[in-house]
Amino acid sequence: MNDSDKLMEQCSDYIDGNLSPEACREFEQYLMNTPETQETIYRMQMIRDSLNNLPQVQTSPDFEIRLHEKIRTMGSVKSFRYSSRYFADWKVPAVGFAVVFVLVSFFVFYPQSSGDVNITAPRESGFSPNFSGQERVLMAPKTVDAAAASVKHPAVVDDSTQRQKNKDQLKKNIKLVNESSSGN
């Protein structure tokens, strides 16, 4: 880049008054020697002034109203986009699957556990006392609640005589078992 090019680079600085005093004097000396550059500088000043004085435009009267409307629309569109995206997201199907799994598990496993809770009547064996049907019923409550109730309020409405009868029957059974084993 030669000296004239460097000086041409300073045209705007000269017009804007940004040159140092020494650089300004050097530039003005250059201008005196180049009339074409003087014309260029003068036209650049006119251009700058014309641009600075261009008519100012103003926004339309409903500018802010339209802006507020767009902001409101933007908010509703954003929520719609959020909800549609939410349903397409992996979280909702995963949560749905988890809920279905819990429900299915509940209905599958619950009947078995309720069966485990029930208290069945003890099996009859040769060593078990040979109670009468009524006593068996009384001795084998069908539910836990009934068993708990029998502890507090025995279903067997017996007195000491009934208990004595039971003891006698038990002794007879034991005796029978001993006789049969000694016979073998």
Partner 1 sequence: MKKPTEKVTDEILIARFQQGDLQAFDTLVRRYKDQLLNYVYRFVGNRVDAEDIIQETFLRVFKNKHYYKEIAKFSTWVYTIAGNLAKTELRRRKRRKFFSVSNFVNDERDYDIPDLDRNPEQEVDGAIKEAYIQKAIDKLPPKFKEVILLRDVQGFAYEEISQILNIPLGTVKSRVNRGRLKLQEDLKFLLEGEIKHNS
**How far is Cα 93 from Cα 100, in angstroms, rounded to an integer?**
10
For partner 1, the closer of residues 17 and 133 by Cβ is 17
Based on the shown chain and the rule CB under 8 A, indicate whether residue 1 belongs to the binding site for partner 1.
no
Taking alpha carbons only, the member of 37, 36, 32, 35 closest to residue 6 is: 37
For partner 1, the closer of residues 44 and 156 by Cβ is 44
Contact string (CB under 8 A) for partner 1, positions 9-28, x = contact: xxxxx-x-------------
Give residues with Cβ within 8 angstroms of 138, minimum separation 6: 150, 155, 156
Contact string (CB under 8 A) for partner 1, positions 26-65, x = contact: --------------x-xxx-xxx-xxx-xxxxxxx--xx-
How far does the chain reach from its first CA to its final CA, in angstroms?
134
Shortest CB 69 distance to partner 1, Å: 10
Shortest CB 102 distance to partner 1, Å: 40
SS3 percent helix, strand, coil of the chain, rounded to 5, is 75, 0, 25
Shortest CB 113 distance to partner 1, Å: 54
How many chain residues bind partner 1 (CB under 8 A)? Answer: 31
Using CB under 8 A, pick the residue from 71, 88, 117, 157 that binds partner 1: 71
Per the structure block, which two tokens stand in for 5?
A: 């090019």
Torsion from C-alpha of 112, 114, 119, 120, nearest 10 degrees: -40
- Report the site for partner 1 in 81-110 (rule: CB under 8 A): none
**How far is Cα 184 from Cα 181, in angstroms, rounded to an integer?**
5
SS3 153: coil
Residues forming contacts to partner 1 in the complex (CB under 8 A) are 8-13, 15, 40, 42-44, 46-48, 50-52, 54-60, 63-64, 66-67, 70-71, 74
